Structure 1
Amino acid sequence: MGKVIYWMNTSIDGYIEDPDGGMDFMDPGEDFQQAANDHVRRTSAFLFGRRLYEAMEKPWTQDLGKEGAPAVEREFAQLYKETPRYAFSDTLQTVPEGVTIVRREDAVSVVTRLKREIDGVLQLGGPELATSLLDLIDEFWVYAFPVIVGGGKPYLPVGKKLRLRLVEHRSFASGIMFRRYVRS
C-alpha cells in the first residue's frame, strides 16, 4: 500500500511563497539537495497541484541538471525525470511523456486508487491539492528555510485543527530545519 507524504519547503514562519508569490527565499544548500535526492530515490510517484507542477517540470526536465551543473543537481534532475508525475489540473491540456493529467474533481478517487496500487511513496506537493486530499495524507514533511517572509501562501490552508505528532527532526549545516509529522 502506498503512503502519501505531503512535502513543501517553507520559510520559518510557514509560507511556501512570499507575499509577491516568489520562492526565491529558498536557497538550498548541497546538504539539503542531497537529502532531497535520497527521498526522491524512494519516491514512486509525484502528485502535484498545477502551479507546483509548472514550477518543477520545466526547470528539472529542461533547464537544470545539465552539463556543468553540480553533480547533486544533475542527479535530482535525472531522478525527477524517471519518476511518474501526476498533475492535478482543470486547465492543463497537454503534458510531456511521464506526466498524467488528473482533473481536480477526480483527485480523491485517483489518489485512493494510487495508494492501493502503488507500493511506495506518493509525494504530494501543492497546498490547495493537499487540503483537498487531507484525509489521505499519511505524513507531513516541512523543510523550513532560515528566513521570515512575513506573509504569502501558507504551507497548508486547512481551515481546521489537525493534531500531529513529531516523529523526526533534523537540522542542516545550511540552516534548514526538517520536521516529519504523522497523525496523532
Structure 2
Amino acid sequence: MRTLIYGFTVSADGYINDRDGNIDWTDPDDELHGFHNDRFRDVEISLHGRRLYELMADYWPHVADDAPPIERDFAGLWVNKPKYVFSRTLTEVGWNSTLVSSNAVETVRRLKSEGDGILEVGGANLAAALIPHDLIDEYQLYVSPVILGGGTPFLPQLEKRIPLRLVERRQFATAQLLRYVTA
C-alpha cells in the first residue's frame, strides 16, 4: 500500500496562505529548499488540487536558466514527476499530469492500493476531501514564525479526532518541520 503524505508550510496559527492568498512569507532558505527537493525525489506520484496545480504550473516549468541551481533542480523534478490533478473546471493539464474530474476519494484509494511507494497531496481543498476518509498517512507541517490571522487553513473542520504520533522534528532557519504519522 502506498503512503500518502500531506505537507505544507503553515503559519503559527495554521494557515497555508494569507487572506489575500499570498504565500510570500513561505520562502524557504537553501537548506529547507534542498530538503524539499530531496524529499520530492522520493515521491512516486504527486496529487494536486486545481489551485495548487495552477500556481505550480505558472512557475516551475518556466524557471529561467539563470535561476539559482536549487530552483532549477526542483523545476526539473516537478515537471517530470507524474501528477494527478483533481479539478471539475480544468479541461487539460500538462507537464506529465493526468486530469481527474471524478471522485477524488475513490481515485486516491485506488492509487494507494496499486503500489508501495509514496504519494503526496498538495492543495488544502483536496486534502480536506481525503482527511475524513482516513486516507492521509503522514502530516508534514513546516511551521513558519508568522501569525496571519486568517487565510486558508491547513486542516479542515472535522467530525472526529485524528490521533497522531510525532516521528520527526527538525529546525530550519525559516521553519520548523513537525512530521506526524497517524496513530
CA distance in 1, matches of 2:174, 2:25: 13
Q: Which residue of 2 aligns with 1:120?
A: 117
Q: Which residue of 1 aligns with 2:164?
A: 164
Q: Which residue of 2 aligns with 1:108?
A: 105
TM (norm. structure 2) is 0.93
Deviation at 1:119, TM superposition (A): 2.7
- The residue type equivalent to 2:94 in the other structure is P
Q: Which residue of 2 aligns with 1:16?
A: 16
Percent identity, aligned pairs only, is 46
CA displacement, residues 110-169 of structure 1 (integer Å, 9 cap, x when unaligned): 111111213311010111211211111110111112211111111011323222111111
- CA contact 1:128–1:156 (8 Å) conserved in 2: no
CA distance in 1, matches of 2:138, 2:105: 17
Per the alignment, in what secondary structure is the counterpart of residue 99 of structure 2? strand
- The residue type equivalent to 1:166 in the other structure is L
Q: Which residue of 1 aligns with 2:139?
A: 140
- CA contact 2:79–2:95 (8 Å) conserved in 1: no
1:1-184 aligned at under 5 Å gives the runs: 1-62=1-62, 64=63, 66-103=64-101, 105-134=102-131, 135-160=134-159, 161-172=161-172, 174-184=173-183
CA RMSD of aligned residues (A): 1.2
Per the alignment, in what secondary structure is the counterpart of residue 53 of structure 1? helix
Per the alignment, in what secondary structure is the counterpart of residue 43 of structure 1? coil
CA distance in 1, matches of 2:46, 2:147: 28
TM (norm. structure 1) is 0.93
Q: Structure 1: where are the runs of 5+ without partners?
A: none
How many residues align? The count is 180
